[in-house]
Amino acid sequence: MENNQRIELPQHLLDEVQRVISLFPEGKQKSALLRVLHIAQAHFGWLSVDVMDYVARLLHIQPIEVYEVATFYSMYDTQQVGKVKLEVCRTGPCMIEGAENIVNYIEKKLGIKDGETTADGMFTLKTVECLGACGYAPMLQAGEKFHEHLTEEKVDALIEAYRSNPVANYMGENQNG
């Protein structure tokens, strides 16, 4: 997590940022933004305004250009999230198969609403658009893992499993750097 530490990526990640930027023509470094946001989010834990401003400086673009992208895609977190982020698909096919009930059940079980984090900082519930597993509806994503054909019993089991063994929210990098 960010914890007000100095906002700076370690050298190996700065090298990776430069490598990604170099994939695009000169002056088109903004094209690296999605990947650089992933790198920053995985390292800092979420995308605070300070982190987004830092990304803007890395890419020599305006902060608003970073905010626009970071707030558009649900894969980016502009609010601090818990150790485990439960992203429940809320698009048509999942809704038809009971996603709303699953969301309600998780809200009740964890005592939080969509977008909120439990008081112990363990779980964040987030509803998101189609995650490409429509044939396995209803489903949710936690870190790199998909949980499919959800039932209340499956939700109970996965929450208990994650409580004792949290999964990384983001791919690739150690969040604590």
Site residues (vs ligand FES, CB under 6 A): 89, 91-94, 130-134, 137, 139
Nearer to ligand FES, 32 or 89 (CB): 89
Q: Which H/E stretch holds residue 93? A: helix 92-96
Length of the chain: 177
Token couple for 32: 């690296």
At its nearest, how many Å lie between ligand FES and the CB of residue 98? 11
Token couple for 76: 């980016």
Nearer to ligand FES, 93 or 177 (CB): 93
At its nearest, how many Å lie between ligand FES and the CB of residue 74? 12
At its nearest, how many Å lie between ligand FES and the CB of residue 91? 4
Nearer to ligand FES, 125 or 137 (CB): 137
Nearer to ligand FES, 131 or 158 (CB): 131
At its nearest, how many Å lie between ligand FES and the CB of residue 81? 20
Interatomic CA distance for residues 117 and 77, integer angstroms: 12
Q: Sheet holding 123-128: strands in order across?
A: 123-128, 84-89, 140-142, 145-147
Token couple for 170: 């983001």
